[in-house]
């Protein structure tokens, strides 16, 4: 084995996917959902040269597909980052559409990144494993796979994640967990910890320099091997390659210190958020169970039947419970909001019954738990009969009937919220926890919802939702009970007066 090739392969012995001290460590087990990529080097020992080439070339072909899909999506995200930064710098809340699009984009970005990172890990073993019986050309190609995947991943980080991380508001939003999109807490910081890890950077830097110093020899070999030539092309066209080649570890140390300061600021802000949440939760739990009587519509089977007949998939329900202490603490007339997700038949009719997200809740739906709501105990599916422990009830829905695509979107966005804890901070931009009106805010992403700024955060109340039925708003009032009585004449005017009276 030539000296250059031995040194080149030696570099792959450094362990990938290690943590660091930037504030949030990278957890490979969680990232790969418990299925860590297995090193492949030993698999080549008993293969003929031809079979080893075929196996290696298959990995390169699959890598090519993965990288091209990732590159196309990455460029789309990069184009929108400037506009995204501008929106984040405005003194207004993130719209529900932006929240959904951003969450979806990052989730897809991570999914596209996983197989590329797995490939880098699989081929980072050519020296550490006993592979004496493997042809040097195979070892070189495996090492080049590791290098090509790593520079591609650094391109990903520099183009998308590093840019987002520089914006405080975007970073904090994406560092909050969101079970609806399988996003872990401190996602951006944990990824950053992997990319700026000292061992990782030393490994990549040495690998890059070994390739640079021996590029002429490798290029000659690539003339006889199209797959090896593709790997060289990946490296040579990478935006990260020249940066990594000229990398100054003093700059890296300064960047790591910058990240630690950033994490400290975010942590302090999160401590403040958690403190407010804890105090609010404690107070709410102390008074939340108190009610001086039952609601006027409670256990009224005739009312339940009548309401059920009028409900349609995607309807928004509002309620008032003046007999509860917590009701008096919520601004406005209405104290709670929920969404009717529809029956099995309705979900089948719009083609959602076989959707994996719907399948998770087959049992609840078939048992009649068709109302999505966020309570102090969390976001769940409930029975209509339990919801009707109220004095006032309103059913509202879009004036213009939803399209099939819009119906599907509303239901899926609603179900993504099930299981989340209650947000006692009432912040529409933190989606790890939500409140009842935020459930509606997130589900109906095409509506320009009114919000209010309170103590440095944006909130939305049930009355904010109800205002969209007034004037030329996009919602209409379909059913209204006030003080236990069905209001059929001038019901919208009455509701408006009640809401105005609360303000005055």
For range 464-480, the mean pLDDT: 97
In a domain, 296, yes or no: no
Residues 335 and 270 in one domain: no
* pLDDT of amino acid 121: 87
pLDDT bucket at 249, cuts 50 / 70 / 90? low
* 74 or 357, which is more confident: 357
Residues 248 and 307 in one domain: no
Closest CA to 117 of 233, 30, 16, 232: 16
pLDDT bucket at 391, cuts 50 / 70 / 90? very high
In a domain, 456, yes or no: yes
CATH number at residue 333: 3.90.1720.10
Residues 254 and 313 in one domain: no
Per-residue tokens: 492:
């919208």
* pLDDT of amino acid 275: 46
Provide the mean pLDDT of the chain.
Answer: 84
* pLDDT of amino acid 129: 60
* pLDDT of amino acid 385: 96
Which ranges in 123-186 belong to alpha helices (H)?
136-156, 162-165, 168-175
Domains: count for the chain: 2
Q: Which of 117-131, 269-283, 402-416 has the highest mean pLDDT?
A: 402-416
* pLDDT of amino acid 325: 66
Residues 129 and 260 in one domain: yes
Instruction: List C-alpha distances in Å: 73 to 62, 109, 477.
Output: 17, 7, 41
Q: Tell the burial category of 244 from Cβ atoms under 10 Å away from its Cβ (0-12, 13-18, 19+).
A: buried
pLDDT tens digits along 89-107: 888 999 999 999 999 999 9
HSE, CB side, 13 Å, CA atoms: give it for residue 387. Answer: 31
Asked if residue 248 has pLDDT above 80, the reply is: no
pLDDT tens digits along 409-419: 999 999 999 99
In a domain, 366, yes or no: yes
Cα angle: 308, vertex 310, 311; to 5 degrees: 65
Residues 207 and 344 in one domain: no
Residues 105 and 27 in one domain: yes
pLDDT tens digits along 109-124: 999 999 999 998 888 8
Asked if residue 267 has pLDDT above 50, the reply is: yes
Asked if residue 266 has pLDDT above 70, the reply is: no
Residues 345 and 226 in one domain: no
In a domain, 391, yes or no: yes
* 115 or 9, which is more confident: 115
Which segment of 48-62, 273-287, 471-485 scores lowest on mean pLDDT? 273-287
d(C-alpha 469, C-alpha 457), whole Å = 25
Full-model pTM:
0.77
Q: Which of 98-112, 141-155, 248-262, 435-449 has the highest mean pLDDT?
A: 435-449
Asked if residue 217 has pLDDT above 90, the reply is: yes
Which segment of 182-186, 217-221, 355-359, 398-402 scores lowest on mean pLDDT? 182-186
pLDDT tens digits along 288-306: 455 678 999 999 999 999 9
Domain final position from 255, 274, 293: 274
Share of the chain above pLDDT 70, in %: 82
Residues 31 and 146 in one domain: yes
Residues 264 and 305 in one domain: no
How big is the chain by its Cα radius of gyration, in Å? Answer: 28
- The answer to whether the CB of 452 falls within 8 A of the CB of 426 is no
Asked if residue 463 has pLDDT above 90, the reply is: yes
Domain coverage including residue 403: 301-503
pLDDT tens digits along 17-67: 333 344 556 677 677 777 778 888 888 888 999 999 999 999 999 999 999
Helix (H) or strand (E) run with residue 459 in it: strand 457-459
For range 171-186, the mean pLDDT: 89
Instruction: List C-alpha distances in Å: 290 to 51, 131, 318, 322, 324.
Output: 73, 71, 20, 11, 6
In a domain, 422, yes or no: yes
CB neighbours of residue 483 within 10 Å:
11
In a domain, 97, yes or no: yes
Domain final position from 256, 274, 292: 274
Q: Which of 114-118, 240-244, 332-336, 339-343 has the highest mean pLDDT?
A: 339-343
pLDDT bucket at 256, cuts 50 / 70 / 90? low
In a domain, 279, yes or no: no
Cα angle: 414, vertex 348, 407; to 5 degrees: 40
In a domain, 288, yes or no: no
* pLDDT of amino acid 453: 86
Residues 322 and 262 in one domain: no
* 276 or 468, which is more confident: 468
Residues 375 and 443 in one domain: yes
Residues 380 and 270 in one domain: no
């Amino acid at each position: 084995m030539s000296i250059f090739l031995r040194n080149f392969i030696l570099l792959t012995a450094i362990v990938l996917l290690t943590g660091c001290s930037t504030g949030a460590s990278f957890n490979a087990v969680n990232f790969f959902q418990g299925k860590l990529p297995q090193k492949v080097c030993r698999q080549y020992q008993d293969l003929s040269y031809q079979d080893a080439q075929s196996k290696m070339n298959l990995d390169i072909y699959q890598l090519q597909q993965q990288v091209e899909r990732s590159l196309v999506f990455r460029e789309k995200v990069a184009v929108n980052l400037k506009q995204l930064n501008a929106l984040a710098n405005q003194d207004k809340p993130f719209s529900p559409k932006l929240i959904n699009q951003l969450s979806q984009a990052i989730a897809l970005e991570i999914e596209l990144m996983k197989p590329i990172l797995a490939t880098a890990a699989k081929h980072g073993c050519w020296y550490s494993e006993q592979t004496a019986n493997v042809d040097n050309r195979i070892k070189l190609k495996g090492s080049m796979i590791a290098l090509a995947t790593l520079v591609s991943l650094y391109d990903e980080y520099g183009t998308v994640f590093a840019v987002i991380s520089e914006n405080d508001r975007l970073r904090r939003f994406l560092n909050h967990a969101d079970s609806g999109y399988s996003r872990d807490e401190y996602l951006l910081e944990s990824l950053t910890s992997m990319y700026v890890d000292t061992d990782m950077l030393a490994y990549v830097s040495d690998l890059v320099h070994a390739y640079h110093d021996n590029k002429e020899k490798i290029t000659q070999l690539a003339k006889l091997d199209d797959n090896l030539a593709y790997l060289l092309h990946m490296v040579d066209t990478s935006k990260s390659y020249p940066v990594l080649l000229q990398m100054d570890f003093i700059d890296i140390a300064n960047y790591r210190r910058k990240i630690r300061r950033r994490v400290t600021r975010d942590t302090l802000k999160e401590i403040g958020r958690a403190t407010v949440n804890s105090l609010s939760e404690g107070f709410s739990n102390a008074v939340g169970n108190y009610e001086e009587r039952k609601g006027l519509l409670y256990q009224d089977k005739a009312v339940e039947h009548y309401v059920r007949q009028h409900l349609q998939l995607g309807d928004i329900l509002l309620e008032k419970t003046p007999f509860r202490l917590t009701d008096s603490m919520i601004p406005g007339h209405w104290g709670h909001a929920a969404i009717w997700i529809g029956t099995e038949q309705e979900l089948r009719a719009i083609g959602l019954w076989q959707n994996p997200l719907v399948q998770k809740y087959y049992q609840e739906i078939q048992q009649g738990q068709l109302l999505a709501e966020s309570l102090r105990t969390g976001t769940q599916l409930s029975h209509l009969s339990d919801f009707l422990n109220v004095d006032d009830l309103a059913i509202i829905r879009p004036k213009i009937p939803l399209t099939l695509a819009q119906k599907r979107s509303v239901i899926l966005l609603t179900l993504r919220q099930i299981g989340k804890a209650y947000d006692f901070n009432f912040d529409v931009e933190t989606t790890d926890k939500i409140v009842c009106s935020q459930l509606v805010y997130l589900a109906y992403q095409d509506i320009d919802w009114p919000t209010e700024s309170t103590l440095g955060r944006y909130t939305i109340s049930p009355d904010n939702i109800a205002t969209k039925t007034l004037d030329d708003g996009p919602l209409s009032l379909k059913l209204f009970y006030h003080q236990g009585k069905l209001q059929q004449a001038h019901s919208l005017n009455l509701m408006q007066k009640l809401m105005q009276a609360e303000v005055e």
